[in-house]
Chain A
Amino acid sequence: MKIRVILADDEELARRVLREHLQTEQDIEVIAECSNGFEAVKAVNEMKPDVVFLDVQMPKLDGFEAVELIDDAAAVVFVTAFDQYAMRAFDAAAVDYLLKPYSSKRFRESLDRVRARLREAQPSQLSPDLKMAARAPGDYLERIVVKDGPKIHVIPVNKLDYAEAQDDYVALRSEGRVWLKQQTISNLEAGLDPRKFLRLHRSYLVNVERISRIDANTKDTWLAILTDGTRIPVSRSGYARFREIAGIGP
């Protein structure tokens, strides 16, 4: 059976180079081409390809956002002119990271890695919690992408009120609605600016700007009252974090 491939790049010429390199490979079949991140997510989730070649900078969703929303089964190769994303690509468990322009030798090496990955019965996924770990200091998420049935919803981080851990998911509260995303709360926390989001509790990550006040509850617990009246439990260490960021001494 042939290896099924999807190409995603907003530049037609870039897709044509990929296609040309793949043409000579007998075991490979290109099943779709996409020109933005939305299309890529949709095509990958519907057609379940073995491999997806992804540009990083694309309209709608960038390559990293797209990877978060596609099934883990597909092997991902990032193709980009930017070399500063290599670490993130590695942590997103990409099979390879191709820098434009690339030679046909380099492209074939990449294909060899893809074939090797596909031969492995169990894809050697890195822990998703590691995905965010290599983020450059000061380089925080500006938006969070979530799947909403067949649709994709983008939450700008400043519109996120708080996140609540729910088993394997986080519930994201934004503009009066709740979105579920398969992610751990620690993983989400690692991607967000620690000056803007506070882990007030093991299960709660709260947008600092939404906190209206913090009241004492029992001896060792507190309650954060958000601007819309929502009450969030605050643990002892969460309270310490709040005091630190609010500039209140210990």
Chain B
Amino acid sequence: MHPILRSWRRFGIWMAAWIPVGFLLILVVRLSGRLTFSEALFVMTPAVIVMAFVCLSPYYVCRSLPLKTASSEKIVVQHTAAALILTGGLLLVARFAASVLTPSFNELDARFSAAVPMLALVVLMIYFVSVALHYAALELESSRQSEILAREAQLKALKAQVNPHFLFNSLNSISALTTLDATQAREMCVRLADFLRTSLRLGERVTVSFAEELALTRMYLDVEQVRFGGKLRMKQQIDAACSDCEIPALLIQPLVENAVKHGIAMMAEGGEIAMSGCRDHDHLRFSISNPFDPEAPSTGRNGLGLRNIRDRLESRYGSSARMDIKVEERLYSVTLTLPVRPHR
């Protein structure tokens, strides 16, 4: 079905647009056929209404003959044929109206005949304009479609995937524990499985509750704790009101992973990751900070994870969400401020 016919509102606008076009045609008939205004109005009204529908038909022809792939001869021939046939039909409608009305108006039929060539020309032109408009609209639509697809693909890619090096390092810890401490090796397997399962489950969703995301973060840290032992310390102060806030899935876990990878892991003596969360009427604010060694060797991909998070916030919330990064001498902190549904 034609997109204009899919909603009453659009259909209304389309028909309204035909009022000036209709007046134009009436004027053409009146001038070239020496009809009075009311005669022209009576003769042309049914034809203009039919034409409003006829000019929707290029939609189907245009779609079957895309500009990019169809040969140009084919496009010209098919559209011209359609234009001629439809113009002919339209003239018949007007003609029919004129002949019906002839008894009421003096020699209307004959006077109308004089207007036919000019009318045919104008109708033909209007039809071609509608073909051009349809091509333009289809082009716009397809470019918007590909933009949406690209954005979706991008968002999907941006959503942090499980970092393979994290997996390999965890597996290496397990391989160490198997002979050192079998019970802890099993415990580590369970923690890793919990984290992976939850991460996959949340990753399928667009939004999750803050509590779910925080639980995932906890699972991640449980695994890293085995690897880093006493080097990795945690402090957490999260208001209970944050729990049911809806946030984009896998938004916070990558922040924590960053804090471990670029912060704690690169400190010879380790350090403390501090997380805090609070909520006012319609905003959630989450902060994470970690010590870092400004002279540490590069850990690669610096800042890429953070840029992904910024992009995701931007595409979802526009300017109503923020990510602030603060680098003090040896402390790196990231604060997210997101709009949330107000308290009930």
CB-CB contacts of B277-299 with A at 8 A, as 1s and 0s?
Answer: 00000000000000001011111
CB A18 to nearest CB in B, in angstroms, measures: 9
CB-CB contacts of A19-37 with B at 8 A, as 1s and 0s?
Answer: 0100000000000000111
B174, B226, B265, B297 pick with most chain A CB within 10 angstroms: B297
CB-CB contacts of B295-308 with A at 8 A, as 1s and 0s?
Answer: 11111000000000
Q: Which of A60-68, A163-171, A174-182, A222-230 participates in binding chain B?
A: A60-68
CB-based contact A16/B168 at 8 Å: no
A100 touching B169 in the complex, CB below 8 Å, given contacts A17-B176, A35-B268, A57-B265: yes
Instruction: Assess whether B146 is interfacial by the CB under 8 Å rule.
Output: no
**For A47, what are the chain B residues with a Cβ–Cβ distance below 8 Å?**
none
CB-based contact A101/B265 at 8 Å: no
CB-based contact A37/B297 at 8 Å: yes
Q: List 6 A-B contacts (CB under 8 A).
A: A11-B173, A11-B227, A13-B173, A13-B177, A17-B172, A59-B293
CB-based contact A13/B226 at 8 Å: yes
CB-based contact B171/A142 at 8 Å: no
**For A133, what are the chain B residues with a Cβ–Cβ distance below 8 Å?**
none
Q: Find residues 66-93 in chain A having any chain B CB closer than 8 Å to their own CB.
A: 81-82
CB-based contact A13/B227 at 8 Å: yes
Find the A residue at minimum CB distance from B226: A13
CB-based contact B268/A11 at 8 Å: no
Instruction: Assess whether A215 is interfacial by the CB under 8 Å rule.
Output: no
- Which residues of A are at the interface with B, using a C-beta cutoff of 8 A? 10-14, 16-17, 20, 35-38, 57-62, 65, 81-82, 99-101, 142-143, 154
Query: A35, A81, A142: which contacts B298 (Cβ < 8 A)?
Result: A142
CB-based contact B168/A59 at 8 Å: no
Find the B residue at minimum CB distance from A11: B227
How many A-B residue pairs have C-beta atoms within 8 angstroms? Tell me.
69
Q: 7 more A-B contacts (CB under 8 A) besides A59-B293, A60-B268?
A: A13-B226, A13-B227, A14-B173, A16-B180, A59-B296, A143-B298, A154-B295
Instruction: Assess whether B80 is interfacial by the CB under 8 Å rule.
Output: no
**For A61, what are the chain B residues with a Cβ–Cβ distance below 8 Å?**
297
Instruction: Assess whether B14 is interfacial by the CB under 8 Å rule.
Output: no
Query: B168, B179, B266: which contacts A99 (Cβ < 8 A)?
Result: B168
Instruction: Assess whether B128 is interfacial by the CB under 8 Å rule.
Output: no
**For B175, what are the chain A residues with a Cβ–Cβ distance below 8 Å?**
17, 101
CB-based contact A14/B268 at 8 Å: no
CB-based contact A81/B297 at 8 Å: no
Find the A residue at minimum CB distance from B228: A11
CB-based contact B173/A57 at 8 Å: no
For the complex, what is the distance from the CA of A100 to the CA of B297, rounded to whole Å?
Answer: 21
**For A10, what are the chain B residues with a Cβ–Cβ distance below 8 Å?**
265, 268
For the complex, what is the distance from the CA of A142 to the CA of B296, rounded to whole Å?
Answer: 11
**For B299, what are the chain A residues with a Cβ–Cβ distance below 8 Å?**
57
**For A35, what are the chain B residues with a Cβ–Cβ distance below 8 Å?**
268
CB-based contact B265/A13 at 8 Å: no
Query: B172, B229, B295: which contacts A101 (Cβ < 8 A)?
Result: B172
Find the B residue at minimum CB distance from A10: B265
Q: Find residues 5-42 in chain B having any chain A CB closer than 8 Å to their own CB.
A: none
For the complex, what is the distance from the CA of A57 to the CA of B266, rounded to whole Å?
Answer: 8
**For B169, what are the chain A residues with a Cβ–Cβ distance below 8 Å?**
11, 81, 100
Find the B residue at minimum CB distance from A14: B172
For the complex, what is the distance from the CA of A100 to the CA of B176, rounded to whole Å?
Answer: 11
CB-based contact A100/B172 at 8 Å: yes
**For A12, what are the chain B residues with a Cβ–Cβ distance below 8 Å?**
229
For the complex, what is the distance from the CA of A178 to the CA of B165, rounded to whole Å?
Answer: 38
**For B168, what are the chain A residues with a Cβ–Cβ distance below 8 Å?**
81, 99-101
For the complex, what is the distance from the CA of A201 to the CA of B149, rounded to whole Å?
Answer: 51
Instruction: Assess whether B267 is interfacial by the CB under 8 Å rule.
Output: yes
CB A158 to nearest CB in B, in angstroms, measures: 13
CB-based contact B172/A13 at 8 Å: yes
**For B296, what are the chain A residues with a Cβ–Cβ distance below 8 Å?**
59-60
CB B304 to nearest CB in A, in angstroms, measures: 13
Find the B residue at minimum CB distance from A61: B297
Find the B residue at minimum CB distance from A82: B165
Find the A residue at minimum CB distance from B299: A57
For the complex, what is the distance from the CA of A16 to the CA of B181, rounded to whole Å?
Answer: 12
For the complex, what is the distance from the CA of A57 to the CA of B228, rounded to whole Å?
Answer: 14
**For B228, what are the chain A residues with a Cβ–Cβ distance below 8 Å?**
11
CB-based contact A62/B172 at 8 Å: no
**For A65, what are the chain B residues with a Cβ–Cβ distance below 8 Å?**
297
**For A82, what are the chain B residues with a Cβ–Cβ distance below 8 Å?**
165
Find the B residue at minimum CB distance from A84: B300
CB B249 to nearest CB in A, in angstroms, measures: 26
CB A123 to nearest CB in B, in angstroms, measures: 26
**For B165, what are the chain A residues with a Cβ–Cβ distance below 8 Å?**
81-82
For the complex, what is the distance from the CA of A148 to the CA of B272, rounded to whole Å?
Answer: 32
A101 touching B171 in the complex, CB below 8 Å, given contacts A13-B177, A35-B268, A59-B268: yes
CB-based contact B227/A59 at 8 Å: no
A100 touching B171 in the complex, CB below 8 Å, given contacts A59-B293, A81-B165, A82-B165: yes
The 10 closest A-B pairs by CB, nearest first: A81-B168, A100-B172, A62-B297, A13-B176, A101-B175, A101-B172, A17-B176, A59-B268, A36-B268, A142-B298
For the complex, what is the distance from the CA of A100 to the CA of B169, rounded to whole Å?
Answer: 7
**For A13, what are the chain B residues with a Cβ–Cβ distance below 8 Å?**
172-173, 176-177, 180, 226-227
Query: A37, A59, A154: which contacts B267 (Cβ < 8 A)?
Result: A59
